[in-house]
Amino acid sequence: MTPALLLSLLLWQSTQDPSVIADPQHLRFQRPVVISGNVAGTGQTCPVLDGQIFPHAAPSLRDLRLFSGGRELPYVVTLSEAAQPQGDTARILNLGRSSSGAVEFDLEMPPRPYTEIRLALAGTDFIANATISGTEDLHSGQKTTLGTSTLFDLSTQHLGRSTSLSLPESSFHYLHVVLRFTGAGGGAFTSTPAMVQGAQVPPSREAQTVYTPVARTTSIVQRGRETLATFHAQAHLPIEQVSFVLASGFTGNFSRTVRVTARPDDDHTIAESLDGTILRVHLREVRKQTLSFPASLGANLQGDATVEVAIENGDDQPLPVAAVVLGMRERRICFEAPANAQPTLLFYGDPALSAPAYDYARIFSAAEHPLAAQLGPESPNPGFKPRADQRPFTERHPNLLWIALLLVVGLLGTVALRSSRRIAR
């Protein structure tokens, strides 16, 4: 065999990706799928996948497999997210001042249901009462009252800012908004129509993301001017929300910045950080509370990591935090429950597997009322047998490839040297 042919063969072997078939005996972990009630026939069911699966499953959950009576069941994993991930812009029309001194305007709304409008308002230290009504025709004079909202900027009191209009789910083509401003301290405030600079429409509240708790701690400590909670997050666990539980009976108002930091356990010099805000304002004119925020830390941490959640108190008294909770977007595994009486088991823990490609996933349509089900506790697969190493020889012995390459280079060098000597003679 020539050196060039040997080199080609080694490189060909190192790039092969043999097909790997899912087999329950090669999956290390299993969990029963418990379907509520007596199921007389098949039907769609969608148990929630909790955080316990991620540390033992392959990245992106590509090795999940369902079996019932020795038969593999096709499935699809759904991810909770807003039905309309991106917000829309509402066009401001007829902006001006009423005879009573209020700021009035119309909003041309997107052609979909909505429950909130986020106004871009200039100015500070104000409280505004907003009255909202809806209509299909601006010239008809007929409007449906949709309620009132309180907007505020209490920045000088360190209590944050809120400029969102909340209303029942609606789909009117136009909204009419009347804003009546007062000073944040109850004094006079000069408002102008130019304060209204824009309006955004987020997804309908009924279509917002649902989260599943993956970690919770009540071990809260003070570090200087910070209130600190620390978690140990296992590899591949998605962390996509941070929420707080305050001590019962606490009635104080606050607005605090929160810093979330993740440091891999194998290299603490690398850190990923993000910020969020929590607040509560309970005044006579204002009722607002936000104790959670999205916090996606790389979607899936690739190794075990330490996660710190720090509330920056500044010169204020520390908040009485009872618990801090990390959450992930709700994931469900949906499949057709089999009609037989055989138990259905979810297996995982075989990194050699690739993500399945089921026709079921391509044509999946969520049922309005799926069968109630949940996953039982995780346990080692009693029938587990390690999979034979099917990697190419050169992948199992990577040093041999380099040795072979050095031999080939040496042989080629020897041949070249001999050829040059013959020519010199």
Per-residue model confidence as pLDDT tens digits over 278-326 = 999 887 777 788 999 988 876 456 788 999 999 999 999 999 999 999 9
Mean pLDDT for the chain overall: 85
Task: Locate 330 and state its tokens.
Answer: 């709700």
Q: Would you state the pLDDT for residue 28?
A: 95
Instruction: Indicate the DSSP class of residue 291.
Output: -
Q: What is the mean pLDDT of residues 185-200?
A: 85
Answer whether 413's CB lies under 8 Å from 69's CB: no
Instruction: Indicate the DSSP class of residue 205.
Output: G
Q: What is the mean pLDDT of residues 11-36?
A: 73
Of the chain, the end-to-end C-alpha distance in Å amounts to 29
- The string of DSSP codes covering 315-379 is TSPPP-EEEEEEEEE-EEEEEEEPSSSSPEEEEE--TTPPPP--HHHHT----SSPBPEEE---E
Residues 393/394/398/402 CA torsion (nearest 10 deg): 140
Distance CA 360, CA 344 (A): 17
Q: Would you state the pLDDT for residue 7?
A: 38
Answer whether 324's CB lies under 8 Å from 217's CB: yes
Single-letter residue type at 267: D
Sorting pLDDT into bands at 50, 70 and 90, what band is 178? Answer: very high
Q: Would you state the pLDDT for residue 348?
A: 96
Answer whether 77's CB lies under 8 Å from 63's CB: no
At 394, phi and psi to the nearest 5?
-70, -25
Percentage of the chain lying above the pLDDT 70 cut: 86
- Which uninterrupted H or E stretch holds 5? helix 3-14
List the one residue out of 112, 33, 61 whose CA is nearest residue 377.
Answer: 33
List the one residue out of 77, 138, 78 whose CA is nearest residue 107.
Answer: 138
List the one residue out of 59, 52, 60 whose CA is nearest residue 29.
Answer: 52
Per residue in 76-131, pLDDT tens?
999 987 655 578 899 999 999 998 889 999 999 998 888 899 999 998 889 999 99
- Checking DSSP bridges between strand 114-121 and strand 126-135, what pairing results, if any? unpaired
Q: Would you state the pLDDT for residue 424?
A: 65
Distance CA 76, CA 44 (A): 11
Task: Locate 132 and state its tokens.
Answer: 């909202």
Is the full-model pTM beyond 0.95? no
Lowest-pLDDT range, 163-172, 191-200, 247-256, 391-400?
391-400
Per residue in 40-86, pLDDT tens?
557 899 999 999 999 999 988 999 999 998 899 999 999 987 655 57
Can you tell me which residue has the tokens 């019932």? 68
Per residue in 217-262, pLDDT tens?
999 999 999 999 999 988 888 999 999 999 998 989 999 999 999 9
Single-letter residue type at 359: D
Scored b (16 or more CB within 10 A) or e, 389-413 reads: eeebebeeeeeebeebeeebeeeee
Distance CA 107, CA 110 (A): 10
